[in-house]
């Protein structure tokens, strides 16, 4: 199993995994336009808007991670933010997620980040156990706040 940065050729496999993740989370999957934007943002922009990593099992992409940098004003350092981590069900319980997280933690250190952060769904107990197992702290006091600019959002009066 090789953990590596994704290449443009991995784009279709990553999109397929994103669609599997959407099914797992019971969310609408990205349509073809969104999939095209993702590939362009990851591989045609300089710098890329999103960094994609994959777990390659003998030429088959079985997992992906999507991350980007944000910034901590309190630490005055960048933060590596993990947007997605998904392992195909056929490749689970083989240490793939643990290896991806370790590689991304190393990447955060190489970049001089002060933090490596992500969200976890409150009902995903398996993921919470995995994250605790790699030394992550689940922050109970923080909640996601969102204004959806492409969906049904409400503007304040």
DSSP string, 3-15: EEE--GGGHHHHH
Active-site residue, from 64, 81, 86, 131: 131
CATH, domain range 2-133 = 3.40.630.30
pLDDT computed for residue 156 by the predictor: 56
What is the tens place of the pLDDT at every residue in 130-145?
999 999 999 989 888 8
pLDDT computed for residue 151 by the predictor: 66
Are 100 and 65 within 8 A, CB to CB?
yes
What is the tens place of the pLDDT at every residue in 46-83?
999 999 999 999 999 999 999 999 999 999 999 999 99
What is d(CA 19, CA 15) in angstroms, rounded to the nearest whole number? 6
pTM of the model: 0.90
Residue 131 annotated as catalytic: yes
The C-alpha angle with vertex 69 and arms to 64 and 72, in degrees rounded to 5, equals: 135
């Amino acid at each position: 199993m090789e953990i590596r940065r994704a290449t443009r050729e991995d784009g279709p496999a990553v999109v397929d995994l994103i669609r599997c993740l959407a099914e797992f989370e019971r969310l609408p999957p990205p349509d073809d336009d969104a999939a095209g934007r993702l590939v362009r943002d990851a591989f045609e922009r300089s710098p890329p808007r999103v960094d994609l990593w994959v777990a390659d099992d003998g030429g088959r992409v079985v997992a992906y991670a999507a991350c980007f940098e944000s910034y901590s004003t309190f630490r005055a350092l960048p933060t590596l933010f993990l947007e997605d981590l998904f392992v195909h069900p056929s490749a689970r319980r083989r240490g793939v997620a643990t290896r991806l997280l370790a590689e991304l933690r190393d990447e955060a250190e190489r970049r001089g980040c002060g933090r490596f952060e992500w969200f976890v769904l409150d009902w995903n107990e398996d993921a919470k156990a995995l994250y605790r197992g790699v030394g992550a702290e689940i922050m109970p006091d923080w909640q996601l706040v969102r204004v959806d600019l492409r969906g049904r959002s409400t503007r304040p009066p």
